[in-house]
Amino acid sequence: MLAKMLNIQNKYQRPVHTLLIWTSVTFILVGASTYFLSQRPAIDYFPSPKSTPGSPSNATNPLLTEEGIDQLILDHSFPRLGERANFTGLHQLCNSTKWQKHVYWTCTHNMGGLMNVRNMVLNCVRYAIAAGASGLVLPQIEARDPTVLSKLKTGDSQDISFLFDRAWFKEVMQENCEQMELFDRVEDITNYGYAMMPDIISMQALMGQPLGNRHGLLRNKKPEEFRSRFDQVIKAQTRRPNEKFPVIIRLDDKALFSFPPAFDPPAIANNFGFILEFRLDLSGLANIIVDRVRQALNKDDGKFSEYVGVHLRSEADAGKYWASWDELANSTLSVALDNKIRLIYVASGDADGVAKLTRKAEESGIRVVDKWSILSNDEQEFLHPFRFDQQAIVDYLALMRSDRFVGSGQSSFSSHLIMRREFLANVSLAEGNHDDDYGRRDQLAGPGRLGYWDMDWP
Ligand SMILES: *[C@@H]1O[C@H](CO)[C@@H](O)[C@H](O)[C@H]1NC(C)=O
Ligand SMILES: *[C@@H]1O[C@H](CO)[C@@H](O)[C@H](O)[C@H]1NC(C)=O
Ligand SMILES: *[C@@H]1O[C@H](CO)[C@@H](O)[C@H](O)[C@H]1NC(C)=O
Ligand SMILES: *[C@@H]1O[C@H](CO)[C@@H](O)[C@H](O)[C@H]1NC(C)=O
Ligand SMILES: *[C@@H]1O[C@H](CO)[C@@H](O)[C@H](O)[C@H]1NC(C)=O
């Protein structure tokens, strides 16, 4: 009996050498992962800040409290461009649309880089209006994998406020398109569980186009036919949409560069993009950066009051035929030297590329800064936990306000900046303002513009 018990005990006793082996294995694993993590290229990726608002771990940083952020927003986030937009065209569009009761629209699979997500959300909302859907569930964002940036399809569904100002979107839509009811969640639609057509819709299939995968092929070639084709799909259902059996449309992830803005008259096309504004906290940080850069420049010497913004899109995942680091650096330095500019603001995930540019610029007495070098410790601590695409908001807005801009023609981020800056310059010119004509001073390095740059909303 005793022997038996001892035997059993023996079985469960961990001999000292096993313990040693496990301990060393653990050390090796921890060591290896620390080593490999420190070898990660370019950017630090952090978990979503959602779970840590006002983290109490550091009470000395006001930006980690709700009051602190509210104050930052109040002090730095206004005014925004959208406040100057004219939504009368949108208002008229919604007023003249034939709306369909019990047909609802959702925009869920908006994924990829910041500007691609923006384009997809706008297209999805524009299609919802074109379809006459009497209800829209607030668009969501599928966040990409924080550690493998090329992995876009993650099922990691985030609220619209992940990137955009939710309250602004709701306000603008309710004010100008009241015929389309907004729902916070699909569950808020009556009888959503009985909805017809739960399959995901491919816009290309609906339009009878080839199911192209490449961005340039997603363009809707006959937007004027969309409504009649959509109505036929609704008619083909077993019963007419009604309260008990509504229709809920879900688009697939190919709405990117699908709706041609030029289909709409300028009164709509030139303003529609402003139904989306970026989230207020990160917009405020961008303004802080620009204000500090301008203060520093003015203090240095009144003569050198401008800065060049560059989107150094030379990260490892950039395409082979895209503008290279050499081309981007060369254009940026040329623009700076030709115009006697002493400061470059760089946005890039390519840390080595930034370091190289910094060294090269130094030879000509030009300083290179980025968001991290300008923000205070508290501000950095606040910004750090945000994801790559959220942090890109700060860069986008800082680049938008730069005096000159250099980017890669193959990047939708750069391409959109060029377009929006040109658009804003046009608006400013039309208002008789001839000195902030910055849109015409911009330059795309490397091979020309994207073939579908006209498919984005200003
Ligand atoms: C809305 O459309 C109706 C005609 O359908 C028109 O009488 C009315 O003026 C329009 N309202 C606006 C604000 O455009
Ligand atoms: C807004 O747009 C409408 C329609 O294009 C136009 O008639 C109106 O004059 C514009 N309002 C302002 C203030 O520019
Ligand atoms: C850019 O490239 C051209 C042609 O190779 C060269 O002549 C020029 O010096 C370069 N500019 C800068 C600022 O490096
Ligand atoms: C708290 O914030 C201050 C200022 O940003 C920083 O210096 C300090 O390291 C932070 N402390 C902790 C525990 O994170
Ligand atoms: C700016 O104005 C020019 C000249 O009228 C026009 O060709 C161009 O398309 C406008 N750009 C944008 C982005 O609206």
SS (H, E, C) the chain: CHHHHHHHHHHHCCCHHHHHHHHHHHHHHHHHHHHHHHCCCCCCCCCCHHHCCCCCCCCCCHHHCHHHHHHHHHHHCCCCHHHHCCCHHHHHHHHCCCCEEEEEEECCCECCCHHHHHHHHHHHHHHHHHHCEEEEECCCEECCCCCCCCCCCCCCEECHHHCECHHHHHHHHHHHCCCCEEECCHHHCCCHHHCECCCEECHHHHCCCCCCCCHHHCCCCCHHHHHHHHHHHHHCCCCCCCCCCCEEEEECCCCCCCCCHHHCCHHHHHHHHHHCCECHHHHHHHHHHHHHHHHHHHHHCCCCCCCEEEECCCCCCCCCCCCCHHHHHHHHHHHHHHCCCCEEEEECCCHHHHHHHHHHHHCCCCEEECHHHHCCHHHHHHHCCCCHHHHHHHHHHHHHCCCEEEEECCCHHHHHHHHHHHHHHHHHHHCCCCCCCHHHHCEEECCCCCCCHHHCCC
Shortest-distance Cα residue to atom 5 of ligand 4: 378
Is 66 a member of any domain? no
Ligand nearest to the CA of 96: 1
Q: What is residue 268's predicted lDDT score, i.e. its pLDDT?
A: 98
330 Cα to the center of ligand 3, angstroms = 6
Residues with CB under 6 A from ligand 2: 86, 88-89, 267
Is 2 a member of any domain? no
Q: What is residue 448's predicted lDDT score, i.e. its pLDDT?
A: 80
* Whether residue 156 has its Cβ less than 6 Å from ligand 4: no
Q: What is residue 396's predicted lDDT score, i.e. its pLDDT?
A: 98
Q: Which atom of ligand 4 is nearest to the CA of 377?
A: 5
Same domain, 258 and 288: no
Q: What is residue 69's predicted lDDT score, i.e. its pLDDT?
A: 97
- Model confidence at 146: pLDDT above 60: yes
Among 260, 275, 290, the domain boundary falls at 275
Same domain, 438 and 298: yes
- Model confidence at 41: pLDDT above 50: no
Burial class (CB in 10 A: 0-12, 13-18, 19+), 98: exposed
Nearest-10 Cα torsion for 257, 263, 267, 269: 0
60 Cα to the center of ligand 4, angstroms = 7
Is 149 a member of any domain? yes
415 Cα to the center of ligand 3, angstroms = 23
Mean pLDDT along residues 241-249: 95
Is 65 a member of any domain? no
Nearest by Cα to 371 from 431, 312, 432:
312
Same domain, 335 and 450: yes
| Host domain of residue 107 | 81-275
Same domain, 424 and 331: yes
Mean pLDDT along residues 26-38: 42
- Model confidence at 141: pLDDT above 90: yes
Q: What b/e readout covers 434-454, taking b as 16+ CB neighbours within 10 angstroms?
A: eeeebbebbbbbbeeebebbe
Same domain, 255 and 388: no
* Whether residue 95 has its Cβ less than 6 Å from ligand 1: yes
Q: What is residue 52's predicted lDDT score, i.e. its pLDDT?
A: 43
Same domain, 287 and 269: no
Q: What b/e readout covers 301-333, taking b as 16+ CB neighbours within 10 angstroms?
A: eeeeebbbbbbbbbbeebeeebbbbebbbbbbb
* Whether residue 334 has its Cβ less than 6 Å from ligand 3: yes
Burial class (CB in 10 A: 0-12, 13-18, 19+), 13: exposed
Is 70 a member of any domain? no
Same domain, 389 and 252: no
Q: What is residue 12's predicted lDDT score, i.e. its pLDDT?
A: 41
Q: Residue 58 — very low, low, confident or very high, per pLDDT cuts 50/70/90?
A: low
Ligand nearest to the CA of 262: 5
CA distance linking residue 427 with residue 81, whole number of Å: 11
159 Cα to the center of ligand 3, angstroms = 46
Shortest-distance Cα residue to atom 3 of ligand 1: 95
Mean pLDDT along residues 59-84: 94
Is 18 a member of any domain? no
pLDDT in tens, 359-405: 999 999 999 999 999 999 999 999 999 999 999 999 999 999 999 99
Same domain, 269 and 286: no
Same domain, 419 and 326: yes
Q: Which atom of ligand 1 is nearest to the CA of 92?
A: 14
Write down the mean pLDDT value for the chain.
87
Same domain, 182 and 296: no
- Model confidence at 15: pLDDT above 90: no
pLDDT in tens, 302-351: 677 899 999 999 988 888 888 999 999 999 999 999 999 999 999 998 99
Q: Which atom of ligand 4 is nearest to the CA of 378?
A: 5
CA distance linking residue 93 with residue 87, whole number of Å: 10
Same domain, 321 and 270: no
Residues with CB under 6 A from ligand 5: 419, 422-423, 426, 458
Among 256, 275, 294, the domain boundary falls at 275
Test site for ligand 4: of 55, 58, 375, 376, most ligand atoms within 8 A of the Cβ: 58
**33 vs 66, more confident:** 66
- Model confidence at 244: pLDDT above 70: yes
Mean pLDDT along residues 148-156: 90
Is 177 a member of any domain? yes
**pLDDT above 70 as % of the chain:** 85
Among 239, 260, 275, the domain boundary falls at 275
Total domains, the chain: 2
CA distance linking residue 146 with residue 149, whole number of Å: 6
Q: What is residue 441's predicted lDDT score, i.e. its pLDDT?
A: 79
Shortest-distance Cα residue to atom 3 of ligand 5: 426
Is 22 a member of any domain? no
Same domain, 251 and 139: yes
CA distance linking residue 69 with residue 55, whole number of Å: 12
Looking up residue 311, the CATH number of its domain turns out to be 3.40.50
